[in-house]
């Protein structure tokens, strides 16, 4: 057992109580935004999603056949790659409303972080999302010292979750990593205001 990681997870779950953190009111909106958020900030995702929804693109079928898809999602950047990934995702969801992780990972433009975000927040499946904030917090709080793979980090975190955790626990935990990362754990850290400060100062076991 990694006592320090276990305590950090407990603290994060105390801090973030809302599981409905990822914006979006449908599988279509949440899964599309998981593609759009790659390598950009959420403001740009919102602009792209507004363009889509304001143009009446609110389903996989409409997205798949929309000739202006690239124009609509341009604010999110990398719009050619993202439009390809969105069309591939639309095709998958139209044939398989509850795709597996393997099916998602087989799509071009969908990596582990995007696949797990879609599974967790759009489909309510018990997956843990690992992102840059998760890594940075664990590194800067001296819990990991080397570059771990996505799967290593995911296994490490899943092994320290409270007993009987559920989908909402995983949603809250990822949300907490992101929000703590945005507010306190930037390039220059604000440890003295951060709810994890006491944990950072502990030994590593
Ligand atoms: S701001 Fe400091 S205490 Fe908070 S997560 Fe980052 S390193 Fe840890």
Tens place of pLDDT for every residue, the chain, 205 residues?
899 999 999 999 999 999 999 999 999 999 999 999 999 999 999 999 999 999 999 999 999 999 999 999 999 999 999 999 999 999 999 999 999 999 999 999 999 999 999 999 999 999 999 999 999 999 999 999 878 999 999 999 999 999 999 999 999 999 999 999 999 999 899 999 999 999 998 865 4
For residue 114, report the distance from its CA to the centre of ligand 1, in Å. 25
Separation of 162 CA from ligand 1 center, angstroms? 22
Number of domains into which the chain is organized:
2
- The token duo for 5 is 């990681």
In the chain, count H helices and then E strands: 12, 0
Residues 10 and 42 in one domain: no
The answer to whether 148 and 156 have CB atoms below 8 angstroms apart is yes
* Residue 114 sits in the same domain as residue 171: no
Q: Is the CB of 50 under 6 A from ligand 1?
A: no
Q: How far apart are CA 161 and CA 13, in angstroms?
A: 10
10 and 32 assigned to the same domain: no
Say whether both 139 and 181 belong to one domain. Answer: yes
Smallest CA separation from ligand 1 atom 3, residue: 197
Residue 11 and residue 53 in one domain: no
Q: Say how many Å lie between the CA of residue 91 and the centre of ligand 1.
A: 41
Query: Is the residue at 205 inside a domain?
Result: no
H or E stretch covering 92: helix 79-95
Cβ proximity of 5 and 159 under 8 Å: no
Look up residue 130 and give its DSSP letter: -
Q: Print the domain residue range for 180.
A: 3-18+128-200
Residue that is last in its domain, among 66, 99, 122: 122
What are the DSSP calls for 103-122, one per residue?
Answer: HHHTSTT--HHHHHHIIIII
Q: What is the pLDDT of residue 1?
A: 84
In a domain, 107, yes or no: yes
Q: Which of 65, 100, 122 lies at the terminal end of a domain, its last residue?
A: 122
Residues 105 and 167 in one domain: no
Q: Is 194 in the pocket of ligand 1 (CB under 6 A)?
A: yes
Q: What is the DSSP string of 141-172?
A: TTS--S---HHHHHHHHHTTSPTT--HHHHHH
34, 116: one domain: yes
For residue 205, the model assigns a pLDDT of: 47
Is any ligand 1 atom within 6 A of the Cβ of residue 191? yes
- What pLDDT score was predicted for residue 145? 83
């Amino acid at each position: 057992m990694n006592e320090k990681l276990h305590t950090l997870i407990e603290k994060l779950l105390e801090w973030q109580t809302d599981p409905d953190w990822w914006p979006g009111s449908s599988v279509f909106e949440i899964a599309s935004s998981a593609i759009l958020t790659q390598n950009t900030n959420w403001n740009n995702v919102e602009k792209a999603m507004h363009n889509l929804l304001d143009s009446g693109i609110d389903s996989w079928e409409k997205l798949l056949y929309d000739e202006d898809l690239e124009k609509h999602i341009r604010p999110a950047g990398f719009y050619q790659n993202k439009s390809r990934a969105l069309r591939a995702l639309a095709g998958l969801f139209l044939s398989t409303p509850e795709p597996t992780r393997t099916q998602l990972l087989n799509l071009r433009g969908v990596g582990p972080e995007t696949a797990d975000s879609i599974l967790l927040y759009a489909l309510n499946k018990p997956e843990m999302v690992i992102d840059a904030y998760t890594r940075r917090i664990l590194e800067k709080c001296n819990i990991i010292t080397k570059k771990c793979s996505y799967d290593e980090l995911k296994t490490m975190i899943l092994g320290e979750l409270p007993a009987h955790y559920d989908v909402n626990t995983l949603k809250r935990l990822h949300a907490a990593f992101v929000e703590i990362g945005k507010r306190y754990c930037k390039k220059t850290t604000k440890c003295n205001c951060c709810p994890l400060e006491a944990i950072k100062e502990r030994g590593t076991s």
